[in-house]
Amino acid sequence: MIETLSIEKREELNKLFLSVAENLDITETQFNNLIRSYTAVGKHLEEDPEFKGYDPVVTPQGSLRLGTIIQPITEDGDIDVDLVYRLIDKHPNWTQKDIKQKVGERLKDHGRYCDMLDKEEGRRCWTLLYRQNSDDAKERYHMDILPCVADSRFNANMELCRNKSFSSVKLDDIAIRITDNKEPDYNSSTCIYDWLKSNPDGYAMWFAERCKYIGEKRETITESIMPIGKYVKDKTVLQRIVQILKRHRDIMFNDDEDKPISIIITTLAARAYKGETSLLSGLINVISTLENHITKDYEGNYVITNPANPEENFADKWPSHPKRKENFFKWLRQVKADVNSIISAKGIQLRENVGRSFGDGFSKKIFNLLTEEHKSSAVNGGIKVAATGALGSIGKSLNAKNTFYGKK
């Protein structure tokens, strides 16, 4: 696919996909709002006298932690933020229900959080709805708070995982046990080892390792993922690939509950990534080989294992929800076709193909930005806009209105 392209066209297409990914990022203002909000709710929960002595701490997980979070596709969409509320050990008589209800009561004790609390209790989480009445969609987000327990060796094991050479075998030492009100022992079991296992810290470490490319130091990437800190504008190739794939999924399926889930896309993309330093090369490789990392069990069911928890199959719902399996492979075929169509397109067709894949309004925004960048480059003696025809039509979109991101 890429071998037949000239070096100049490869550079232009790489710049195009990079612009797509960069404009999917949440803004620094949004990021700072999220950090302030989760820090505040974390402080309130961590000071709960019920959990004194169990070293409670709130940390982010999911796309915010991994640096793959993206803007919603619609004006009325909001950002989903996942948090873990972790205890180190627990009272010997506490069940999953005891812990989950205590966390809920603590949130209800706070006037503001009580008003923001989703009236419908989640299966595993409590959800806070932020700024739902705001006229600015970028101010709306919700936080899912997952109560969990780690064993007494967690903090020591965490330091070992951080400071020693990476080993996926050791990741199980930092697993946690979560609350789930659909589990049969939710009301009864007091032994955390009977509870469902999860490993957000281990997954983040594994993902940081997979983000490495030639010459990149693991410590540099790990610091940007664990723990979350300042806003990071420059991201790795793998993080950008995941953002692009998630956006394509969102445009294709919108609010369909059976759309491919982000953890499957992220895991398969990370496994397929081979350390490419070019976003274009990395994206082509990932969509071409992603399917190779799906296996089957002895019954013929698809298996996509959690790299930080081999007991967990991310595709375990596919047999009971066949539409999810069907939609995943439908999406995979479509993203391959759409990336191919973008690579082979010229002139106005390129902009149309980008719009079909990532949203018309979003496409207009991208080409407006690229036009301005090329104009500036031309003024300073840079390359011409229509050098290969790949971006030759972008000047026609200068006055296009952006319908996805509101006013500039």
**pLDDT higher than 70, residue 1:** no
So what's the pLDDT on residue 385? Answer: 41
The answer to the question of residue 149 being in a domain is yes
pLDDT in the model for residue 134: 60
Residue 407 has what pLDDT? Answer: 33
pLDDT score for 162 = 77
| pLDDT-based confidence at residue 402 (cuts at 50, 70, 90) | very low
Say if 282 falls within a structural domain: no
Q: What average pLDDT does this structure show over 95-115?
A: 95
| Cα gap 153→226, rounded to integer Å | 19
HSE-CB of 286 using CA atoms within 13 angstroms: 30
User: Has residue 339 got a pLDDT over 50?
Assistant: yes
Task: Please state the pTM of the whole predicted model.
Answer: 0.88
Looking at residue 141, its pLDDT comes to: 86
Q: If you write DSSP's letter for every residue of 176-202 in order, what string do you get? A: EEE--TTSTTTTT---GGGSEEE-HHH
Q: What is the pLDDT of residues 202-248, one digit of tens each?
A: 999 899 889 986 555 545 555 555 556 678 888 999 999 999 999 99
Could you tell me if residue 392 is inside a domain? no
* Residues in Cβ contact with 407 at an 8 Å cutoff, skipping those fewer than 6 apart: none
pLDDT of residue 212: 81
Q: Judge residue 55's burial from the number of C-beta atoms within 10 Å of its C-beta, 0-12 exposed, 13-18 middle, 19 or more buried.
A: middle
Provide the pLDDT for residue 225.
57
Residues 6+ apart with CB under 8 A from 234: none
Which long-range contacts (C-beta less than 8 Å, at least 24 apart) are formed by 133-140?
Answer: 136/406, 137/72, 137/74, 137/75, 137/76, 137/77, 137/78, 137/406, 138/26, 138/27, 138/29, 138/30, 138/71, 138/406, 139/33, 140/77, 140/78, 140/79
Say yes or no to pLDDT of 192 above 80. Answer: yes
The structure tokens 């595993």 sit at 124
| Cα distance from N-terminal residue to C-terminal residue, the chain | 36
Residue 73's pLDDT is what? 87
- Predicted confidence band of residue 310 (pLDDT cuts 50, 70, 90): confident
Is position 358 within any domain? no
Who's near 97: CB < 8 A, 6+ residues apart?
A: 179, 181, 186, 187
Please report, for the chain, how many H helices and E strands are present, in that order. Answer: 14, 10
5 pLDDT tier (thresholds 50, 70, 90): confident
Residue 121 domain-assigned (yes or no)? yes
- Mean pLDDT computed over 108-125: 92
Structural domain span for residue 168? 27-232
pLDDT for the residue 311:
87
Q: Which of 131-140, 203-212, 276-285 has the weakest average pLDDT?
A: 131-140
pLDDT value for 220: 54
Q: Which of 174, 181, 84, 68 is nearest to 123 (CA)?
A: 181
Residue 164: band (very low, low, confident or very high) from pLDDT cuts 50, 70, 90: low
User: Can you tell me the distance from the alpha carbon of 117 to that of 106, in angstroms, rounded to the nearest whole number?
Assistant: 11
- Other C-beta atoms lying within 10 Å of the C-beta of residue 406: 12
CATH of the domain at 147: 3.30.460.10
**Rounded Cα gap, residues 100 and 407, in angstroms:** 41
Give per-residue pLDDT as tens, 49-65. Answer: 999 999 999 999 999 99
- Burial of 184 from C-beta contacts in 10 A (0-12 / 13-18 / 19+): exposed
* Any domain includes 335: no
Residue 39, pLDDT > 70, answer yes
> In 3D, which of 287, 281, 318 has the Cα closest to residue 303?
318
User: Considering the domain boundaries, does residue 162 fall inside one?
Assistant: yes
What share of the chain in percent tops pLDDT 70? 83
Can you give the pLDDT at residue 404? 25
176 occurs within a structural domain:
yes
As a whole number of angstroms, the distance between CA 314 and CA 329 comes to: 15
Please give the C-alpha separations between residue 118 and each of 4, 83, 115, 125, 129, in angstroms, as whole numbers. 53, 15, 8, 10, 7
Query: Within its chain, how far is the Cα of 210 from the centroid?
Result: 15
**Mean pLDDT across 312-338:** 97
- Euclidean distance between CA atoms 375 and 385, whole angstroms: 8
pLDDT tens column, 348-389: 899 999 999 999 988 888 888 888 777 766 555 544 444 334
State the pLDDT at residue 377.
62
Note the pLDDT of residue 255.
85
Residue-level pLDDT at 94: 97
Predicted confidence (pLDDT) at residue 390 exceeds the cutoff of 70:
no
What total of structural domains would you count in the chain? 1
Closest among 3, 18, 31, 397 to 243, alpha carbons compared: 18
Asked if 318 and 301 count as a contact pair (C-beta separation under 8 A), the reply is yes
Residues 243-266 have pLDDT tens digits of 999 999 999 998 899 999 999 999
Three-class DSSP category at 372: helix
Per the prediction, the chain carries an average pLDDT of 86
Nearest CA to 331 among 249, 264, 269?
249
